[in-house]
Amino acid sequence: MSSRLELKTISHRYSDANEDVLKDISLTVEASQSVALLGVSGSGKSTLLRVAAGLEDPAAGQVLVDGEDLAGTPPDRRGIALVFQNPLLFPHLNVVDNVAFSARMAGFSRRRARRQALEYLDLVQLEDFAHRHPWQLSGGQEQRVSLARALARQPRLLLLDEPFSSLDSRLREDMYNLVSLIREHLEPTIVMVTHDRREASVLADSIAVLDTGRILQHGSVPQLHYRPDSLAVSRILGGLNEIPGDVTGGIHSSALGRVKVQDTVDDGAAFLVIRQETVNLVSAGTGVVDGSIASIKSMGAHTLATLIIDNGSTAKPAVRISAEVVGAPDLSIGDHIGVDFEESAAWAVNN
Amino acid sequence: MPGGGAGRVLIGLLLVLWFTLPMVPVALWAVAGRWHAPAILPQTYSWEGWSAAASSGLFPALLASALLGAGVAVLATPLGFLAAVSIRRLPRRYARPVEGILLAPLAIPPFALVMGMNVVLLRAHVPAAGGVLLLLVVTALPYTVFMFRSALAGYDDRFEEAARSLGASKAQSIRHVRLPLLTAATSRAAFLAFLVGWGDYIVTLIVGGGQLRTLPMTLASAASATGNEQLTAVLSLTVVLPPLALLTALLLTRRHGRIR
C-alpha cells in the first residue's frame, strides 16, 4: 500500500485571499518514506495536504502518484487517506462501523467490512472498543480509531494533518510508537503536517520546511538541524545561535573570532549558526571565547545557558551565544565562563 | 448548580409539577359526570364529554389541525434548512441582517402581523386556507432556521471531506454522513413547525375567516360557552396529548447508527 508521491510546481490561492497560499511547490516523497511538512500555522502546509488529497484543486501544478497525474480525479478515487487534526469519527456510527466505512462505501458486505475493520482496530489496540460509540472514547482513543479508519482504506498514501496536536504529551508518545508500529507492518508512504519540530524529527525520514507558501528546505532530520540553508530554517528548527559576521574563503569572522565554516557559503555577510546542543561550557580562557552568563533556563534534564560575549568588542547589540547542556550545572547569572564547540559544528548561512 | 444532586432533583420535580398540575383538573373534567364545588374530586364519572366532543366535530377538527401542522412542517422545514445553509455561506456582514430578518416574525406581535397581512391577502385574492398556511410558515420559519443554524454551527464540513477521502462518492457522503448527522435537527425543526400549525388560533381565526375548523377553533368556541366543562376539557386534552406523544416518540427513537 505504498506509492511514490510527486508534487510538481504547485500553486494555490483561496478565492477570498489576495496572496497565494502555496507558491510553486515541488516535493517528492519516495514509496514507504515518511516526510514531515514543518511550518507555523498559515505556512500553507495543510493546504498542500488538501491539494494532494483532492479536496482542493490547485491553481497550477500537478499531483503525481506513481507517475500518474491525478488532475480531475475526485478525492474518493485517489486512494489517498487523510487523517485530520480533529478525529472526525462519524457520531452516528459505532467504532467498528467507523472503521468499516471505507469497505462499505466500496460495496463490501457489512459482515466482511466489519471483519476487516476489526483487524485494523486490533492494530491500534482498540479491538475491545469496537461496539462503543465515538463519544464514549477518550481523545487519544478517538485519534487511534481515526488512524485505523484511514488505514482500513488501504490507501496508497497516508496524509496526517497534525493528528496528535490536541493530545497530551504522554498520549502523543504512545501515538508515535503506534505510527512506528504501523510503518513497520504496512510500510505506508506518509506525508504529515506538523508545527512541532520534535514530532517531525521523531516520525519522519525527512523534513520539508514550509514558510509563507514556499518550501525553504527539504532534507534529512540532521541536515536541517545542523546544516540549515537559511536563518529562517534554523529558527523554525529551534536554532538559537545567530552570530553576525563576515565570511571570506570559508572562514567566518565575528565576535567569536575566526571560525572555519563550510566551503560552500558565499563570501560576504553571514550568520554563524551553531546548534545550542553542540556548544559546551568550559572554564574561562580555555574555549573559543569567553562571556558572562545572562540567563539560565531549565529545560528539564537539560539547562539552557545564554552568555553575553565579552572579548572587548563594542558591537551593539551585544553578541549572545546559547549552550544547552546536560544536567543543571552550578552557575549563576554574571559568572564569567568560556564556551567551546567542535569545528565541524560551525555552519554559516548568508541570510 | 446550587444545591448539588438533591437540589437538582427537587428543582426537577417542582418543574414537573409546574407543568402537570394545571393538567390535573382538565384530565378530571374530561371524565367527570357531575362535579360541583366544594367537592375536591368529581362526584360522578362519565364519558359524556367524549361523546359530546365526537358529535361537535372533534374528528374533522383533529384532521384539519394535523393537516395544517403537517403542511407547515413540510414547507417550513426545508425552507429553514436552505435559509440556514445560505446564512452560513454568506460573509458575516451579510449573514447578520439576513438572520435578523428571518428571526423578525418572533419579535412582531402575531396580532399585528395577522391584521396587516389579512388585508394584503384579501386584496391579492389568496384563498383562506392558502393564506393561513403561508402566514404560519412565516411564523414557523424562525424556529426551523434557528434549529438548523445551531445544528449547522456544530456541523463540521470536514466530516464529508473525511468521508470523501475514505472513498465515499459525493452522493454517498451526503447519504451516509450529512443526512444522518442532520436527522435530529430535522426532526426537531419539523416538530416545532408542526406545533405552530397544530396550535394556531389567531391566524386561523382571522385569515381563515371561520372556514377552517381546526382543533383550537373548536376548543375556543366550546370554551366561550358556559356549562361545557367536560367538552372543553376533552378538546383541551386532544390539543395537548398528540404533540406530547409525538415528542415522546421523538425522544425515544434514538436512531441507531448503521450504514444501510
CB nearest to A81's CB, from B166, B180, B181:
B166
Distance from CA of A50 to the nearest CA of B (A): 10
The secondary structure of chain A, three-state, reads CCCCEEEEEEEECCCCCCCCCEEEEEEEECCCCEEEEECCCCCCHHHHHHHHHCCCCCCEEEEEECCEECCCCCHHHCCEEEECCCCCCCCCCCHHHHHCHHHHHCCCCHHHHHHHHHHHHHHCCCHHHCCCCHHHCCHHHHHHHHHHHHHHCCCCEEEEECCCCCCCHHHHHHHHHHHHHHHHHHCCEEEEEECCHHHHHHHCCEEEEEECCEEEEEEEHHHHHHCCCCHHHHHHCCCCCCEEEEEECCEEEECCEEEECCCCCCCEEEEECCCHHHCEEECCCCCCEEEEEEEEEECCCEEEEEEEECCCCCCCCCCEEEEEEECCCCCCCCCEEEEECCHHHCCEECC
The class that CATH gives domain B59-215 is mainly alpha
Distance from CA of B97 to the nearest CA of A (A): 21
Report which listed range, A17-21, A292-296, B247-251, is most confident: A292-296
Question: What are B257's three cell numbers?
Answer: 447508527
pLDDT tens-place string over residues B90-107? 888 888 898 888 888 888
**Cα gap A97→A110, rounded to integer Å:** 9
The third-level CATH classification (topology) of the domain covering A5-226 is Rossmann fold (3.40.50)
Q: Does B180 touch chain A (CB under 8 A)?
A: yes
pLDDT tens-place string over residues A151-199? 999 999 999 999 898 888 888 898 899 999 999 988 999 999 999 999 9
Band of pLDDT at residue B258, cut at 50, 70 and 90: very low
Q: What b/e readout covers A109-146, taking b as 16+ CB neighbours within 10 angstroms?
A: eeeebbebbbebbebbebbebbeebbeebeebbbbbbb
Band of pLDDT at residue A314, cut at 50, 70 and 90: low
Determine, for residues B162 and A84 on separate chains, whether the beta-carbon distance falls below 8 Å: yes
Contacts of A17 (CB under 8 A, 6+ apart): none
Query: Which alpha helices (DSSP H) does chain B contain, by range?
Result: 4-20, 23-30, 48-55, 58-89, 92-103, 110-123, 128-153, 158-165, 170-173, 179-198, 202-206, 215-224, 229-252
Determine, for residues A105 and B255 on separate chains, whether the beta-carbon distance falls below 8 Å: no
CB nearest to B165's CB, from A75, A104, A106:
A75
Band of pLDDT at residue B259, cut at 50, 70 and 90: very low
Q: What is the C-alpha end-to-end distance of chain A, expressed in Å?
A: 41
**Cα gap B208→B203, rounded to integer Å:** 7
Q: Classify B155 as helix, strand or coil.
A: coil
Q: Is the pLDDT of residue B254 over 60?
A: no
Determine, for residues B161 and A101 on separate chains, whether the beta-carbon distance falls below 8 Å: no
Contacts of B98 (CB under 8 A, 6+ apart): B83, B86, B87, B90
The class that CATH gives domain A239-349 is mainly beta
Question: Domain limits of chain A?
Answer: 5-226, 239-349
Cβ pair A323, A281 in contact under 8 A: yes
Nearest C-alpha neighbor of A25 from the set A224, A208, A228: A208
**Cα gap A44→A23, rounded to integer Å:** 9
- B-chain CB neighbours of A73 within 8 Å are none
Residue pointed to by grid coordinates 485530520: A84
Between helices B179-198 and B229-252, what is the axis angle to 10°?
Answer: 170
CA torsion sign, A224 to A228 to A232 to A235? positive
Q: What b/e readout covers A267-279, taking b as 16+ CB neighbours within 10 angstroms?
A: eeebbbbbbbbbb
Q: Is the pLDDT of residue A74 over 80?
A: yes
For the segment A273-296, the average pLDDT, to the nearest whole number, is 92
Q: Does A80 touch chain B (CB under 8 A)?
A: yes
Contacts of A232 (CB under 8 A, 6+ apart): A209, A211, A216
Q: Is the pLDDT of residue B125 over 90?
A: no
CB nearest to A75's CB, from B164, B181, B255:
B164
Q: ipTM of the predicted structure?
A: 0.85
pLDDT tens-place string over residues A222-267? 999 999 999 999 999 999 999 999 999 999 999 888 999 999 999 9
**Cα gap A227→A349, rounded to integer Å:** 9
User: φ, ψ for residue B56 (rounded to 5)?
Assistant: -100, 25
Residue A24's pLDDT is what?
93
- Count of positions (residues) in chain B: 260
Q: Does B159 touch chain A (CB under 8 A)?
A: yes
For the segment B29-34, the average pLDDT, to the nearest whole number, is 87
Give the nearest chain B residue to A96 (CA atoms): B258
CA torsion sign, A199 to A203 to A207 to A213? negative
Distance from CA of B258 to the nearest CA of A (A): 6
Band of pLDDT at residue A315, cut at 50, 70 and 90: low
In single-letter form, the type of residue at position A39 comes to: G
What is the CA angle B198-B199-B204, rounded to 5?
A: 90
**Cα gap B209→B220, rounded to integer Å:** 14
**Cα gap A9→A20, rounded to integer Å:** 13
Residue A168's alpha-carbon distances to A164, B55, B189, in angstroms, are 8, 70, 39
Nearest C-alpha neighbor of B136 from the set B86, B202, B66, B84: B202
Distance from CA of B13 to the nearest CA of A (A): 29
Q: Does B94 touch chain A (CB under 8 A)?
A: no
- The number of angstroms, rounded, from the C-alpha of B176 to the middle of its chain's C-alpha atoms is 28
User: What pTM was estimated for this model as a whole?
Assistant: 0.78
Q: Is the pLDDT of residue B256 over 80?
A: no
